[in-house]
Structure 1
Amino acid sequence: MSESNGFAATIASLVVDRPGTVVIVFLILTGAFGAGLQQVSMSGGTGQFTEASPAQESYDEVQAQFGSPFAVETGSTLVIHRDENVLSKASLVRMLDVQEGVSARSGLRVQDTSSPATYIARELDPTADTLTAQHQVIDRATPSEIGGAVETAEQNPEFRELLSEDFNSESARATAAIGVFSHEVPGRDETAVGVTADSAFRETQLELQDIVTTYEGDFTVYGSGIIAEEFGQIIVDSLQIVVPAASLLILGLLFLAFRDLFDFLIGVFALVTALVWTFGLMGWAGIAFSQLLIAIPPLLLGVGIDFGIHVINGYRERATKEGLAAAMRPTMRQLVVAFGIVTGTTVLGFSANLTSQLAPIRDFGVIAALGILVTFLVFGIYLPAIKVLVERLRERLGSQSEETQQTGVKSPIGKDGSVLEPLLTAGIVFGRRAPKLVLVGVLLTGIVAGGYGAGVETSFSDEDFLPPEDIPDYIEYAPEPFGTGTYTVTESTNFLEANFEPSSSDSLTIYYERPMTGDTSLELIDQAGSIPPSAIEQSGVRTESRSIQTVIDTYASQSPEFAILVARNDRDGNGVPDDNLEAIYAALRDSPHEASVERYLSDSNRQTVVYYDVESDATQSEVSAAGTLLENRLRGDATATGTTVIFADIAGLIYESAIISLLAAIGITAVFLVLVYHFLFREWMLGLVNLLPILLTVTLVLATMRAFDMKFNALTATLLAVTIGMGVDYSVHLVHRFIEEYEGTTSVYNALYPTMRGTGGALTGSMLTTAAGVGILGIAITPILQTFGILTALSIIYAYLTSMIILPAALIVWDRFGSMTEQKHPQGDTVVTDGGDREVDEFEWVADGRNHEFKRVAEGENDEFEWVADGRNHEFKRVAEGENDEFGWIGDG
């Protein structure tokens, strides 16, 4: 341990002897890192995750070949129109007004636009090719003429897709319609599922939104640009809510813990410095700020307060009127080593997220690990140096409080006689009486909780990153600047899903590559849907699907000539042509349905796409399994894709990330602790003792997630590794303090009591502030942050409780079998050492390694004690006096 003591002594000397130099260096570095804050950019949404999905490549090919009328990723903007009847003449005119006004803006680069109004106008006058002409047609039409045009247009599936599901062709009524605008966006090559905060359509759709608001009627703009804008807005709004709330809560608890204005201000200054360093480094490194990283500030605030409380509390434990250096120097020597171990375990825990295949999770691991390193430097060196400067200034100015003037320092948390003492030492009481039973209980609890928690589910969706449709009142009515903007995406998404047929982005998509002119090509597609998977919507005994066969059926119902062509080439009379498919496709391309053919069949007739409508209550995993089943039924190169399948892939990667990062965190943390405790203290088993509480904590977190139906998502995938990284801190602090105390005593209890009172008291304060700071994410706007905040706060509480309860028992068992005990008390020694000075004293009987309670009944050369356990008297002769009196056992009384 000499090397660590040497390093710690060097740091302690630097802080105590040259605090001014330390502060100046840190101020210069703060200015340098602070300049990086201007370089921080933002990135949000689900699009940043989909690159890792194999199904994404197939989706890209589908988009490139066939496009999608409702896919917000393809350069389209949707304008949702709501009215009592959107097919009334007045409503149709209002929609055309919007279409004309938007198309007239050259900056929006509108290439094409369609709506129910344009289809109806062309039914009334096929020559009405422009919006102006269509507007005139609708203006001149009578309600009955419009009703007739609606009945005719109803045969066109593209017309029906633009109307809500309550559409009634006989009465020509519907309560909602969609207008579609296709844009040309120079330089855009993005086709990934999901939306990122830097979407190419942001400015285009925001301008379109401003235009639409000037028209009469209920119109809502929906598209990737709007979603991207709200993703970015959510990040800003979340920070405006979470960081101030976390800061106020943590600072309030910090003030209660320090009970000193100067110590409080020192802590605040250090917190701000740590945040500036962390996010300045992120800016210089070019890592974009995403929703996942919103969780970083509360985490760093919590860990920083943890370190700060230990420094101040450790100083107060040792402080006397003999001088500041006499208190701070040993405090630093002890805490630098403890902080080093804690920082190592926390960094390794967070860095375990680098094993993830998902880039945002890896970024989270990098920034969190950097933040912990920064926190160690700021709170392990900078804060103590400031504390030394401030205390020396206060001594010169005589500005110490009455308590400080009397005792030399404010009292530490958990001192002897404090109200917390019985709670802090409860673990010793349990461990003293039945340490092995405690450990068996821990093992059984871990097995049960872990087995139950193994059933935690995983999810990934846009909704995780978007605010709820109904914003809570405490957010909606929060005063500026803590309030939020206006969000429309969640409501619009829910409205589209509830009122319109699923678009291709909401369906299961099968991308099929094979020559589609072969005799069995269409029959294979038909047969694949003959026994529908449970997740796919059914029509009778068949699947609800859209494919090139849908176009054939539609045109056959309208054209007798084409129907004859199909029947002539249909061997089994099931409506699916088997022969002469090339001629059938050519006839379709020469028909009014040419555009529909392009949606399902490539120009080369070698690629096709089939869209299967999924049940509204089908889970991602069920839809993905249905896609695999349909792939297997089709001969050739068939690939299941679509938003749901891609998101299911990501959900699988999230679960994989959670498990692998957990195993990595446990493994590397265990190796680190074993090596550290071996080289520093020659007690490698203590490294494993450190892990007992945190392993139980992980199982309790998993059990809690399943009990409250909390799923792994893009952020909680990091939770288990974060739990290891942060939770092991509590056991490290306790075990390190125990070793410091144990080396100077002959009793395990003489080491445990000051450990649990002193360090346990500091941990209580840091647990409350850390859990509160991270738990404040529970009031965040988005579900993903809320869940993470609640679970992380619970994991911190669990880690604290398990450390305080389990470690005393584990250390007692270690003491009985560990090498340090054997070195101190050779075999056969019958020494009994005094373990307390209360009415009923506690003794450690070294001969059997157990603890016995005795009551002193007579004093003299040979003191007499009553053994409380059996009521008999035993005589002992005092053979040595000191902190722990030693007695020779004379015999039973």
Structure 2
Amino acid sequence: MVEYQWAIDRLDEWIVERSRTVLVVFLVLTAVFGVGSMRLSTEAGTSQFTEDTPAVEAFDAVNQKFTPTFGNDEGSTQLIQSGRNVLSKPELLAMLTAERRLERREGLRVVSTTSAAGIVAQQLDPNATTLEAQIRALERSTPSEITAAVRAAASNPRFRGLLSDDFNRRAASASATIAVVQHRIPTGVDPGAGAEAEGGDDPLTDLQLRSQAVVATVDGDIRVFGSGIVSSELSSVTFDSLVIVVPAAVVLIFVFLLVVYRDPVDLLLGVASLGMTIVWTLGFTGLVGIPFTQLLVAVPPLLLAVGIDYGIHTINRYREERVTGQEIRPAMRSATDQLLVAFAIVTGTTVVGFASNATSRLQPIREFGVVAAIGIVFTFLIFGIFLPAAKVWADRLRERAGLALPGRRPLGREGSLLGRTLQGSVTLARRGAGVVLLVALLTTVASGYYATGIDTSFSNEDFLPPEETPSYLRSLPEPFAPETYTVTQNINFLEGNFASAEDDTVTVFVEGPLREDYALESIYQANRNPPNSFVATDRRASAESIIEVIRSYSEQSDEFRRLVERNDVNDNGVPDDNLDRIYDRLLSSPVRAQALQYITEDRRSARVVYSVKSTASQETITRDARRVADRYRLAATATGEVVVFQSVAAIILASAVRSLTSALVATAIFLAIVYRVLVGRAAFGVINLFPIVVAVALLAGTMRLLDIPFNALTATVLAIALGLGVDYSAHVVHRFTDEYDWEGGDRDADVVRALERTVRGTGGALTGSMVTTVSGTAILVLAITPVLGQFGLVIALSVFYSYLTAVALTPSVVVVWERFAG
């Protein structure tokens, strides 16, 4: 064994004899971190998870290389109009009025607008090129003239694309329409950055939020929608979730702690310590510049969970000494003498569990692991040093004032109902420890095997607020009541009413010498006999590429058609020779802009957009898209939002497995070393770990049973469950090593006696900690985004399973160790 007592004695000296100095130092540090917490920035959305994978790199290349609908210095806003008939005269005028009011606001920097109302107006008066003229054209037209104009405009694909799927040409009616407003964005600013831009001051977000106020002054159901509003609301969801979850957790924890502590002073000290833990962690996050993401919303409840455990153990262990008649200082010295070692073990293993997420390839998960690990270290310092010092200082004040000290009895004391219940695990271990371990082992294997079927998902829906905010959240008073969210409602509306709004495409990004004779033929041949998830006609994939542009322009230009025919060897409409000349003619024609959406000017890159079935799974579409890409003779990469999200989902699953494996191995090594140092027996590291492996397997099986997938947040839960779970078993094992008479003669009796004292004393504190922690973490179900609710539920389950296995299985493991290992 290594001598470590000198370090514990030094800390005991500061806690007991210099308690006021300790309080002052910690309060000053709290003020410093409080300033840091004011510097927090937020980041939201799915883009934060898209790390460098082939699909992501190809997706970025497609966005950079091909001319978008709008220029790099422009951004667009959508106006969504709905009603009984958006093609009636009043509705058409309402849309044009909204466009004109936006255009007249100089600060909104409107470059142009496009709408079905404008097309109808120009059908009525071809000279109506301004919004004022278009409004006049509609105002002086009769309903029958407008109906005739709508029928005439119906032959225009652009007009039909702006109308909902229920457009009826004969009746000249539709229930919804979209208008596009184009803004000028300052050079050098990404128009799609949204609130994720540094500092959250994205110009497009500001323009769209201001546009909402302008459009609200127009009669009719017209909503403003765009990437800036999506980003703004995602950031608001993060903040609103924090505002709801943290106070709710604090209130619930306060109530349970009131029951557990049964002493107002102890309650006040415990809550203050919890508050300091949150302030320190948020302050650290702000000081180092880590943005506060939706994943980090889960950190405060996790720290509350660990802090509650530490706090209850500190007070309960102190009370165990006080009821024996010890004075304040000796009692706290005895308590901290044991607990500082236990807390150090628990902190080490919990940090390992949380920090194992730093092995993830996804930056938000890495940052989550780092912040949570640092928060656990802060929790150890505050509850291991500050809280005992504050308790000594407060009790000495009360003693000098002659005040009674109520509620000094520890939880799980001998003779209590809880104490007798907890001792049942010792009785079970004494009579059938082998059977208990066999059942636990079989349960672990069965649950772990069942858990292999857990789904993995990653999508925008994980981060979006619900379409309708639950009534219990809407009824909250200010400032807790969340704002009214429109993002999900608008996205669902667009997908339900506009076929073009559905995300039913994948892209193949092609790189190579597109001048070679085989280049276009390779693209053409790859589309034959497509996989089942692809939309197909006559056994050919429905695709948009440079080939479709060539065919379209051939129908418009006889000269170009003859050029193509002369160079089409197999007469399939796809040129095989002189491709450079064909590209030159195409890029100098009126369809140049359309061509540049599918091929770059240097003839080195192309994109092919395939339609896929909306009923197919993300995994199936991705697999089939990669199969099609493999058919190309040129270098080709499957990409698009579906493929990118599936690649992130695969990384999430790999991260979950890697984090759990890393945490398991690192924790086992850490515990073996710790117990070798403390009691000269590394085997206690295995004893410590076994109940938690059972708990993790039970948790994984329950996740599949409850249909909770591995997503961006729940992927971290297995490693976290390991870290939190070791918290419970470490307290039990360390207390046993302290209570066990290593020099005793009757080993069986000594083991049982030590286990009984352990499950009564430490088991009582663990029970109070479990009840409070489960309540505090389960409160995450109140979070606005579904992913946080799922995370809160699985963390609460992990704490319960960890408590159950630590209290019920550890005595049996210890008994088996004593009988067979000696």
The equivalent position to 1:548 in structure 2, one of 540, 546, 549, is 546
Any idea what the Cα deviations from partners look like across 1:207-243, whole Å, max 9, x if unmatched? 1111111112211111111011101111121111101
* Whole-angstrom CA distance in 1 between matches of 2:72 and 2:460: 13
SS at match of 2:38: helix
The equivalent position to 1:250 in structure 2, one of 242, 250, 253, is 253
* Residues 193 and 228 in structure 2, CA contact (< 8 A), matched pair in contact too: no
Q: In structure 1, what is the equivalent of residue 106 of structure 2?
A: 106
Confirm whether residue 756 of structure 1 aligns to residue 759 of structure 2: yes
* Whole-angstrom CA distance in 2 between matches of 1:127 and 1:608: 39
Q: In structure 1, what is the equivalent of residue 707 of structure 2?
A: 709
Q: 1:637 to 1:139 in 2, by over 3 A?
A: farther
Letter of the 1:92 partner, please give it. Answer: L
The equivalent position to 1:389 in structure 2, one of 393, 397, 403, is 393
Q: Superposed, which structure 2 residues align to 1:175-186 within 5 Å?
A: 175-186=175-186
Confirm whether residue 290 of structure 1 aligns to residue 288 of structure 2: no
Any idea what the Cα deviations from partners look like across 1:53-82, whole Å, max 9, x if unmatched? 432322222222334449999722211111
Confirm whether residue 662 of structure 1 aligns to residue 665 of structure 2: no
Q: Bigger CA drift: 484-493 or 182-191? A: 182-191
Confirm whether residue 337 of structure 1 aligns to residue 356 of structure 2: no
Any idea what the Cα deviations from partners look like across 1:84-135, whole Å, max 9, x if unmatched? 2223343333222222222232322233322223444455565554434444
* Whole-angstrom CA distance in 2 between matches of 1:514 and 1:128: 46
Confirm whether residue 364 of structure 1 aligns to residue 364 of structure 2: no
Confirm whether residue 776 of structure 1 aligns to residue 779 of structure 2: yes
* Residues 205 and 225 in structure 1, CA contact (< 8 A), matched pair in contact too: yes
SS at match of 2:4: helix
Q: 1:647 to 1:578 in 2, by over 3 A?
A: same
Letter of the 1:334 partner, please give it. Answer: Q
Question: 1:703 offset after TM fit, Å?
Answer: 0.7
* Whole-angstrom CA distance in 1 between matches of 2:352 and 2:514: 54
* Whole-angstrom CA distance in 1 between matches of 2:2 and 2:258: 37
Q: Superposed, which structure 2 residues align to 1:191-270 within 5 Å?
A: 196=196, 198=200, 199-270=202-273
* Residues 414 and 420 in structure 2, CA contact (< 8 A), matched pair in contact too: no
Confirm whether residue 426 of structure 1 aligns to residue 419 of structure 2: no
* Residues 350 and 722 in structure 1, CA contact (< 8 A), matched pair in contact too: yes
Q: TM-score, normalised by structure 1?
A: 0.86
* Whole-angstrom CA distance in 1 between matches of 2:714 and 2:131: 50
Question: 1:489 offset after TM fit, Å?
Answer: 0.4
Q: In structure 2, what is the equivalent of residue 724 of structure 1?
A: 722
Any idea what the Cα deviations from partners look like across 1:428-453, whole Å, max 9, x if unmatched? 12211121222222221111111110
Q: TM-score, normalised by structure 2?
A: 0.93
* Residues 346 and 726 in structure 1, CA contact (< 8 A), matched pair in contact too: yes
* Whole-angstrom CA distance in 1 between matches of 2:671 and 2:399: 41
Q: Superposed, which structure 2 residues align to 1:575-724 within 5 Å?
A: 575-576=573-574, 578=576, 593-724=591-722
Question: 1:156 offset after TM fit, Å?
Answer: 4.6
Any idea what the Cα deviations from partners look like across 1:145-185, whole Å, max 9, x if unmatched? 65555556545544333222222334433222111123232
SS at match of 1:511: strand
Q: Superposed, which structure 2 residues align to 1:269-284 within 5 Å?
A: 269-284=272-287
Confirm whether residue 22 of structure 1 aligns to residue 22 of structure 2: yes
Q: 1:127 to 1:555 in 2, by over 3 A?
A: farther
* Whole-angstrom CA distance in 2 between matches of 1:570 and 1:148: 44
Q: 1:484 to 1:618 in 2, by over 3 A?
A: same
* Residues 47 and 192 in structure 1, CA contact (< 8 A), matched pair in contact too: no
Q: Bigger CA drift: 487-496 or 556-565? A: 556-565
Letter of the 2:238 partner, please give it. Answer: I
* Residues 258 and 264 in structure 2, CA contact (< 8 A), matched pair in contact too: yes
* Whole-angstrom CA distance in 2 between matches of 1:498 and 1:39: 41
* Residues 72 and 191 in structure 2, CA contact (< 8 A), matched pair in contact too: no
* Higher radius of gyration, 1 or 2: 1
* Residues 78 and 179 in structure 2, CA contact (< 8 A), matched pair in contact too: yes
Q: In structure 2, what is the equivalent of residue 92 of structure 1?
A: 92
Letter of the 1:96 partner, please give it. Answer: L
Q: 1:535 to 1:70 in 2, by over 3 A?
A: farther
Q: 1:127 to 1:550 in 2, by over 3 A?
A: farther
Q: 1:124 to 1:570 in 2, by over 3 A?
A: farther
SS at match of 2:112: strand
SS at match of 1:205: helix
Q: In structure 1, what is the equivalent of residue 66 of structure 2?
A: 66
* Residues 715 and 784 in structure 1, CA contact (< 8 A), matched pair in contact too: yes
Count of aligned pairs: 813
For structure 2, list consecutive stretches of 5 or more residues without a partner in the other structure: none
Q: 1:582 to 1:54 in 2, by over 3 A?
A: closer
* Residues 194 and 228 in structure 2, CA contact (< 8 A), matched pair in contact too: no
Q: In structure 2, what is the equivalent of residue 161 of structure 1?
A: 161
Residue identity (%): 47
Question: 1:584 offset after TM fit, Å?
Answer: 5.9
Q: Superposed, which structure 2 residues align to 1:93-172 within 5 Å?
A: 93-122=93-122, 128-139=128-139, 146-147=146-147, 150=150, 153-172=153-172
SS at match of 2:444: helix
* Residues 531 and 543 in structure 1, CA contact (< 8 A), matched pair in contact too: yes
* Residues 120 and 146 in structure 1, CA contact (< 8 A), matched pair in contact too: yes
* Whole-angstrom CA distance in 2 between matches of 1:553 and 1:127: 32
Letter of the 1:16 partner, please give it. Answer: V
Question: 1:553 offset after TM fit, Å?
Answer: 5.0
Q: In structure 2, what is the equivalent of residue 890 of structure 1?
A: none
Q: 1:321 to 1:685 in 2, by over 3 A?
A: closer
The equivalent position to 1:789 in structure 2, one of 783, 789, 792, is 792
* Whole-angstrom CA distance in 2 between matches of 1:55 and 1:194: 23
Any idea what the Cα deviations from partners look like across 1:256-295, whole Å, max 9, x if unmatched? 0011111111111111111111111111111111111111
SS at match of 2:425: helix
Any idea what the Cα deviations from partners look like across 1:712-744, whole Å, max 9, x if unmatched? 111112111111111111110000000011036
* Whole-angstrom CA distance in 2 between matches of 1:653 and 1:176: 39
Question: 1:543 offset after TM fit, Å?
Answer: 2.6
* Whole-angstrom CA distance in 2 between matches of 1:599 and 1:517: 17
Question: 1:137 offset after TM fit, Å?
Answer: 4.4
SS at match of 1:290: coil
Question: 1:302 offset after TM fit, Å?
Answer: 1.4
Any idea what the Cα deviations from partners look like across 1:299-319, whole Å, max 9, x if unmatched? 111111100100111011111
Letter of the 1:54 partner, please give it. Answer: P
Greater RCO (CA < 8 Å, at least 6 residues apart): 2
For structure 1, list consecutive stretches of 5 or more residues without a partner in the other structure: 822-893
Q: In structure 2, what is the equivalent of residue 325 of structure 1?
A: 329
Any idea what the Cα deviations from partners look like across 1:819-874, whole Å, max 9, x if unmatched? xx4xxxxxxxxxxxxxxxxxxxxxxxxxxxxxxxxxxxxxxxxxxxxxxxxxxxxx
Confirm whether residue 532 of structure 1 aligns to residue 530 of structure 2: yes
Confirm whether residue 77 of structure 1 aligns to residue 77 of structure 2: yes
Q: 1:186 to 1:622 in 2, by over 3 A?
A: same
Question: 1:576 offset after TM fit, Å?
Answer: 4.4
Question: 1:692 offset after TM fit, Å?
Answer: 0.3
Q: 1:697 to 1:222 in 2, by over 3 A?
A: same
* Residues 439 and 806 in structure 1, CA contact (< 8 A), matched pair in contact too: yes
Q: In structure 2, what is the equivalent of residue 437 of structure 1?
A: 435
